[in-house]
Amino acid sequence: MISAAADDRSVRAAALLVAAGLLVELPSVVATTPVTFLVFVGAGIPLMAAGCVLFAVHLWRSLVQKGVL
């Protein structure tokens, strides 16, 4: 069973990863250079993906715990 504190931590970590990904991707919108594209692909997308996967795992565990799945 997942405790409420661990539940909050996993959602908060997912949100922080997505926010960090957005902050890393922001310069690629402002300045379009090859370096910003590499930062977008090399750091921004993996941070966003990690946040999304972490949230999906949290959601899956939560639904299994409640007996929905």
CA separation for the pair 29, 45 (Å, rounded): 14
Q: What pLDDT band is residue 1 in, cutting at 50, 70 and 90? A: low
CA separation, residue 68 to residues 10, 52, 59 (Å): 20, 21, 11
Q: Over the stretch 8-62, which tens digit does the pLDDT of each residue have?
A: 899 999 999 999 999 999 988 898 899 999 999 999 999 999 999 999 999 999 9
Indicate the number of domains in the chain: 1
CA separation for the pair 14, 35 (Å, rounded): 26
Question: 29 lies in which domain range?
Answer: 4-66
The string of DSSP letters for 10-44 reads HHHHHHHHHHHHHHHHHHHHH---HHHHHHIIIII
Residue 5 pLDDT > 80? no
